[in-house]
A and B are shown apart, each in its own frame.
Chain A
Amino acid sequence: METLSQLFTILLATIKDVLPIMAIIFGFQLLVIRRPVPNLKRVLFGFVYVVIGLALFLLGLDKALFPIGRLMAQQLTDPSFIRGGAGGALHWGDYYWVYIFAFAIGASTTIAEPSLIAVALKANEVSGGAIGVLGLRLAVAFGVAIGISLGTWRIITGYPLHWFIIPGYIFVVIQTFFAPKLIVPLAYDSGGVTTSTVTVPLVAALGLGLASTVPGRSPLIDGFGLIAFASLFPMMTVMGYAQITEMLAARDKRRRECDDKLNEE
């Protein structure tokens, strides 16, 4: 019963959230383009589904994704789990299961991400097969996994977030000048695209949970930042992947030319 009334409250809030976007779409269609909405009934039904779906998702978020993230953070940092009950102060190296968990979550959620698969297919087509679908997906997944893993390490050690992000940006900017031109916008976009609707809340809860269970950390200062890491590193790995494939292709070509020359002689 309590869940039902909660669902109802969320439903009302969701309608309020979806209204602006409806107003924008219909406003432009009717006032600026001045044409009736095609398939009006379908579109309206679509909006009803969006509202119901969003409300259910937010309810599930509260009941499952946030608690799971917090629970995992709490259990993995529990001193009795890490030390098997032995005392003594904990070193950041003792939290290795946290890093492994972060890596696994980052890699597994990204490799299955549908929007990433779509982008990879598109890139493969546009680049004439030079950029492999699986290679790109692996590059992004590896980037996200490294990002989240490093992000949890930062939360545990408590270093300021911008010490990592700003050098990361500088690295990205420098790398841009050496990466193949075609990949640059795609690489920049892949940072934002990879963090899906399911992953973001879970990872956010993991970070906040870590910051509240690791001694000496404040959730407000240390708890956020995992998503920033997860959006930064794919840019580097995707550009790096393109650089490596280009280098290999160039080497192949040189070798083939050499062979050709030898054959001619």
Chain B
Amino acid sequence: MSNFFIALGRSMIGSLRDLLPIVLVIAFFQIVVLHQPVPDLVGLLTGLLCVVAGLTFFVYGLEMGLFPIGEVLANAFARKGSLLWLLVFAFCLGFGTTVAEPALIAVAAEAAAVAAQGGMIEASDAAQKSYAAGLRYTVAFAVGLAIVVGVIRILKGWPIHYMIAIGYLLVVIMTGLAPREIIGIAYDSGGVTTSTITVPLVTALGVGLASSIEGRNPMIDGFGLVAFASLTPMIFVMAYGMVI
């Protein structure tokens, strides 16, 4: 039982450290620069408490359940030698971790609200929900595909920068074709996808794979999956904007 509290406490210190710089900067600006009372201070503080508690439980739960089993699976598939299953697993890992990413859920909802205000979609609740869900599944699909491509790269030992350059070229071409309203959301979705859940699991897969294949260097070949995962969503979200 005491172990539980120690682990929970450690996780809480981590989330407090995430939040503290933000609180300090904002407090400094409110007090020194703006000289304005914060409206609804109690509500804000309650919200911040929720954020800290939420992140604490979230990270604690991840470390307890998801990460160990994810790493075991990633290593098992890296060693198993069946290419098809490895790729299927890679796709599912990318897709599954992205769908549940908190930052993506938040930004997709915000994007839907803005799109409704801007008259891009209907202002109804249902239309906004389906737009946000569509956005999330598009991004998740793109991340799944990115992990598959990244895994193939690790297996073949292709140099990363050519592939990234090609990806950028695709982004540039899509930017020319996509409607203006989607471009900002699309560019942002690249950075949004890769945070709390995705990065540790995907890095585990990459480094595990690179260390179990002979002739691959974990430093050169193991990293880079996250880079793919932040590139493809841009392309696919712009495609989503063209279809809708």
Contact = CB atoms under 8 A, between A and B. Distances in A.
Interface of A: 17-18, 20-21, 23-25, 28-29, 32-33, 37-39, 42-68, 71-72, 75-76, 81, 97, 101, 104-105, 108-109, 111-115, 123, 126-127, 160-162, 165-166, 169-170, 172-173, 176-177, 181-182, 184-186, 188-189, 191-193, 195-202, 204-205, 208, 218-228, 230-231
B85 A224 contact: no
Given A65-B47, A196-B195, A38 B69 contact: yes
27 contacts: A25-B69, A43-B68, A45-B64, A49-B64, A52-B57, A54-B100, A56-B53, A58-B102, A60-B50, A60-B51, A68-B26, A109-B21, A160-B183, A161-B183, A185-B221, A188-B164, A189-B223, A189-B225, A192-B190, A193-B226, A195-B192, A198-B55, A201-B103, A218-B118, A219-B114, A220-B118, A230-B191
Interface of B: 14-15, 17-22, 24-26, 28-29, 33-34, 36, 38-40, 43-66, 68-70, 72-73, 76-77, 80, 85, 89, 92-93, 95-97, 99-100, 102-103, 105-107, 110-111, 114-115, 117-118, 120, 160-161, 164-165, 168, 171-172, 175, 180-181, 183-185, 187-188, 190-197, 199-200, 218-227, 229-230
Given A97-B33, A189-B226, A204-B188, A17 B18 contact: no
Contact of A173 (B56, B168, B192): B168
A192 B191 contact: yes
B184 A221 contact: yes
A176 B161 contact: yes
A205 B110 contact: yes
CB-based closest 9 A-B pairs: A46-B65, A64-B47, A49-B61, A224-B184, A53-B58, A63-B47, A57-B54, A60-B50, A53-B57
Contacts, number: 334
A135 B81 CA distance: 39
Given A204-B188, A226-B188, A71 B57 contact: no
A113 B22 CA distance: 12
B26 to A, nearest CB: 6
A117 to B, nearest CB: 10
Contacts of A104: 25, 28-29
